[in-house]
Amino acid sequence: EPEVTQTPSHQVTQMGQEVILRCVPISNHLYFYWYRQILGQKVEFLVSFYNNEISEKSEIFDDQFSVERPDGSNFTLKIRSTKLEDSAMYFCASSTWTGGVDGYTFGSGTRLTVV
């Protein structure tokens, strides 16, 4: 079964450092997303990406965040200067969005710890 792959599974970084979280979406999917889940809280939408541009973003997704699809397979989330409160599980997802929501698939996540 096709899956969304995320690397690394766990990233520890110093406060103020830049991090790049990587994702390989399902190959025929056209829409890509990042979500995060702070420990004990709900999963929150960060950004959606379609046709090489951001289609929607939340208020969480400020200037510290950026996304990129550098080649035909990877989709990355960059946090420029990490803060302690950025510590969370970050989930990448992709979908076909043919009207069938069943295709909305999540990766296993990257646990980001900012120290």
Instruction: Give residues in contact with other proteins (CB under 8 A).
Output: 4, 6, 31, 33, 35, 41-45, 48, 55-56, 58, 91, 93, 95, 97, 101-102, 104-109
Identity of the residue, 10 or 80, whose beta carbon is nearer to other proteins in the bound complex? 10
Least distance from other proteins to the Cβ atom of residue 81, Å = 25
Least distance from other proteins to the Cβ atom of residue 49, Å = 10
Identity of the residue, 35 or 75, whose beta carbon is nearer to other proteins in the bound complex? 35
Least distance from other proteins to the Cβ atom of residue 101, Å = 5
Residue 55, token pair as written in the block: 């289609």
In the sheet that 65-68 helps form, which strands lie side by side, from edge to edge?
A: 5-7, 19-24, 75-79, 65-68
Q: First and final CA of the chain: distance in angstroms?
A: 36
Identity of the residue, 6 or 82, whose beta carbon is nearer to other proteins in the bound complex? 6
**Apex CA 53: angle with CA 50 and CA 58, to 5°?**
85
Q: How many CA atoms lie within 13 A of 71 on its CB side?
A: 5
